[in-house]
Chains A and B, each alone.
Chain A
């Protein structure tokens, strides 16, 4: 089971990177979103899946799912959200100022 999720996460990484390698800004942004999903699922899997009840203390339950990865993912989700929103606004402003959403046209004259 865990292997399935790991593969899922790998696919998310792969598609994310494929998108990151594109020229159009929107695709790149979609890539970043996929990337964070992939990473989060990987964290979850590393704490083993379904080894007990949800980590809310309940009487009579001794076996809980590993709570630590969940806490880490929560932190990470919020941070990713912050970055995504910044990226969206930045992308919007960049496109507006530079009159293009094609990253290849945003190369700039690198060494001058």
Chain B
């Protein structure tokens, strides 16, 4: 069964390669994309079920035993994240043909799409630090390709900045891996963890840990490293923004979770307490950014940052409730962010502008759109019974149990402001006089709403059905707090 582990990587890779050959046949590409994304969802769904039932899947690629070869590790955390990735992928795959990509579809949009999924899934699954770098590069390269797609002035401009900043952090990543190799002589994550534990995370290791943290934090868009994010996420097509918003930053935060729960856990006062500060600042500055603009796409883009803040808050607190909350939040936020980007994409499309000041009264023309947005405002703010609430509740319980009062209050206030930032779109854009927008032409939203509703339903299930999901994240949190389980499962000692 261990070969299952490679499927989440191989399926999108093969899909991408096949689609390269059908590039000029848009219709076939579209059908194949949907089919492949559904296959991916099915397979990852099965894997997630299998892992949760039977425990981690460890694959020693090429039969080279750990820690010498590259090891793929699908534990429950990886499994649910890969599954969530595929849920997002399905929504995007069904949305894309209607997204007004036009010519862009012929510039290898669908292959890039699947390459991106390949990279993301690989990053979630690999158990090798250098291999993680390689998967980062796969997903980044695909993201570079996607972000320039379309090729207008602004896009080029923002892509270039995006590329350069990510290039820098990639190079820093390899360097940090090199340092780590210099000290502990291995790049297998389990073995690194074991060796770091043996020497009780001596000084230099903490320093390297922080270097790695900055590498991942840049990708995860944490304060104060997120400057590249808002504008570059706004320029591409909504599908691309959705994929980015849902997946890219989450890979960064996943890496932080992984590295700072498995490897660098021996000096928590020094490292993890720092994260709590970062979390608070990310929340504040992120939401302040979201309030600063009238561009609905930017509002959503900025909202990525406080969400990342919530997740890192749980890692900083580092007890079972809080970690479980982080994972819950991470899972749901991938879906929510994808949905929101798709949603503002539709709104900007029907309104003919993404400037909130030029919108009004849309609810009279697009009621479903309005109500879905309304629902997402509360999802995002973490109002029950939506999934955001469960994550936040756990985070708060964890925080209070550890006496972290200040961050809890910041987190609560931030949710209020997040709600405000989104409900603003609803009030100004959707409420108002029916005939407020004179030049509004009726546009078809066929095929655009369904994927968003699909994501909304997923979020509601995650919230209402928390009884099924919470035990899973709780078990994952317990598992993360005991790195020995991971180490033993990989090194089999």
Contacts and interface: CB of A to CB of B under 8 A. Distances in A.
A90 B110 CA distance: 20
Contact of B174 (A25, A43, A110): A43
Contacts of A72: 130, 174, 177-178, 187
A112 interface: yes
SS of A interface (majority) = helix
A20 B182 contact: no
A38 B176 CA distance: 12
B178 A46 contact: yes
Contacts of B167: 32, 35, 83, 87
A72 B339 CA distance: 38
A62 interface: no
Task: Give the contact-size bracket for chain B.
Answer: 35 or more
B197 interface: no
A46 B174 contact: no
B46 interface: no
Nearest to A98: B153
Contacts of B158: 108
Interface stretch (B73-81, B144-152, B312-320, B435-443): B144-152
B214 to A, nearest CB: 14
SS of B interface (majority) = helix
Given A36-B171, A90-B156, A98-B153, A110 B134 contact: no
Interface in B164-205: 164, 167-168, 170-172, 174-175, 177-179, 181-182, 187
B295 interface: yes
Nearest to B173: A39
Interface string A42-76: 11011100000000000000000000110010011
B160 interface: yes
Contacts of B164: 20, 28, 32, 87
B141 interface: yes
Contacts of A112: 293-295, 355
Interface of B: 130, 133-134, 137, 141, 144-145, 148, 151-154, 156-161, 163-164, 167-168, 170-172, 174-175, 177-179, 181-182, 187, 230-231, 292-295, 298, 355
12 contacts: A32-B164, A38-B171, A39-B171, A42-B179, A43-B178, A47-B181, A86-B163, A91-B160, A93-B156, A97-B152, A103-B161, A112-B294
Interface of A: 20, 25, 28, 32, 35-36, 38-39, 42-43, 45-47, 68-69, 72, 75-76, 79, 82-83, 86-87, 90-91, 93-94, 97-98, 103, 106, 108, 110-112
Given A43-B175, A43-B177, A111-B295, 20 more contacts: A25-B160, A32-B168, A42-B175, A42-B179, A45-B182, A46-B181, A69-B178, A72-B178, A76-B133, A76-B174, A79-B137, A86-B145, A86-B163, A90-B163, A93-B151, A94-B156, A97-B156, A110-B230, A110-B231, A111-B293
